[in-house]
Amino acid sequence: MKIEDIKDPKFLKKLNNQELEKLSKDIRKFLIDKVSKTGGHLSSNLGVVELTIAIHKVFNSPKDKIIFDVSHQSYVHKILTGRAAQFDTLRQKDGLSGFQKITESAHDSYESGHSSTSLSASLGLAIGRDMNKEKNHVIAVIGDGSIANGICYEALNHIGETKTKLIIILNDNDMSISKNVGALHNHLDKIRSTKDYANVKSRTKKIMSKIPGIGPVAYKGLKNIKTSLKKLYIKEGFIFEELGINYYGPIHGHDFEELELYLNAAKKINGPVLIHVITEKGKGYKFAEEDILGKWHGVGPFDPLTGIITNNDTDKISWSEVISDSLIRLMNKDIVVITPAMESGSKLTKFRQMFPNNFLDVGIAEEHALLLASGLSLEGKIPFVSIYSSFLQRGYDEILHDIARINNHVIIGIDRCGIVGEDGETHQGVFDITFLLPIPNIIICAPKDSIEATNLIKTGINTKAPFCIRYSRNKLNYIKDKPVEIKIGSWECIRRNVNYIWRLC
């Protein structure tokens, strides 16, 4: 079928697995073609094609509420809900949003551009549903990178306590933007790599397939299977089970038979369920499949045949690269660079490779990154926290209460400041000046060029106070000069306008 002719997901219920596999290939081809022209989030969407199709086949959107965490991986969802014909306008002015958007479609039951909000929001929808005495399902799709964020621990703790009927799909592709880090990620990795995984899953699948219908008998069978899997994979108990959430998996995220089997089973369980799904980020496009640096997570226009990304500014580099290179040039033993899972986005890979002992990736945990920096500063270290402007607001309390209030020497590199265009309103870096200005002790600055960027980092290193350096996502000419410290409170006159007179009123 022609992808642009899809109006709603109802047609999926009539398709067999062979037809669904053909549809998956067509959708991947469509995504590669369209994103190659407009740019966008490619790898994450290629990885959830079968999963999204299966969700829409088993559930009934928009009655059933489907929330995609971050929602940058909702392109397939948009296609299946009748928006394929708009993909030429993806991430363009007045065009299709790159994220779920409530005003765009009745099928978008929530919207966000930041990670780890889906579980709390889904629980709110589920509790509201119960209060309204309605019977629809609520499904949250969240990645293994996002679920490690502190907000999710708070949500999981509450979900387990309320026992509300809620389906969580953990999309585990072993990646967020960069390679995932942290104890929970390592825990999931152990499950993926268990040597008996394939054999046990084969037996599990055979048992499940013999269940004539999903009902009380199936529920009892599922409970027994769950217990066996728990004993096999995690000898001392699994974190989700300990929190009171039914855990099933891991299952094959590109196998329609397996996906539908578990999704249908989850519908019948009267309580919170987490289905652990293994997918391959970038599946179906070799350049994205082989990507380990996050290059194909969010990409500009590119040649789909060669994988060469179109770039009209080949003689320029990003502000992030200038900042990273300046840190390398000014490096000393006390500087520690911290990133909340944005090593690739903030161009810090070279720094990590050169100074692995002075580099900390804390995962998707902005609040923790800033508190960690505060503690390091008290031990005489000079932490540099690289963080996007739109993500900095998540750490406002930590900046105000734990850094600025006690005047700790922390440098915050505020990346992606100003208008970010195609990423839309969730990512605009236009609020940081407003919410930082009232904070005492804090110094805010922005370089006009690459020379001043290096000079401001040198100034920040030598200034024992909270020091914020703002820079955009644009590109610029990189000119190197001898680093010079800039006196705090000084200025230079770039151009004098003789026709304008300042007056004190």
Measure Cα distances from 285 to 62, 98, 213, 281, 451 in Å. Answer: 30, 20, 37, 10, 40
- Residue type present at position 494: I
Q: Judge whether 329 counts as a catalytic residue.
A: no
CB 143 within 8 A of CB 169: no
Token pair for 497: 């306008």
Name residue 169's beta-bridge partners.
141, 275
Q: Judge whether 366 counts as a catalytic residue.
A: yes
CB 180 within 8 A of CB 148: yes
DSSP state of 437: T
Which position among 28, 129, 165, 281 bears the catalytic label?
281
Nearest to 34 by CA among 1, 80, 67, 3: 3
Which position among 57, 283, 347, 394 bears the catalytic label?
394
Which position among 343, 366, 398, 452 bears the catalytic label?
366
168 phi, psi to nearest 5 deg? -110, 125
> How far apart, in whole angstroms, are the C-alpha atoms of residue 359 and residue 321?
16
Name residue 365's beta-bridge partners.
none
> How far apart, in whole angstroms, are the C-alpha atoms of residue 55 and residue 142?
13
Is the CA virtual torsion 58, 62, 68, 73 positive or negative?
positive
259-264: which pairs have CB atoms within 8 A and are 24 or more residues apart? 259/50, 259/51, 259/54, 260/54, 260/57, 260/58, 261/205, 261/208, 261/209, 262/208, 263/54, 263/55, 263/58, 263/59, 263/167, 264/58, 264/214
Residues that are catalytic? 281, 366, 394
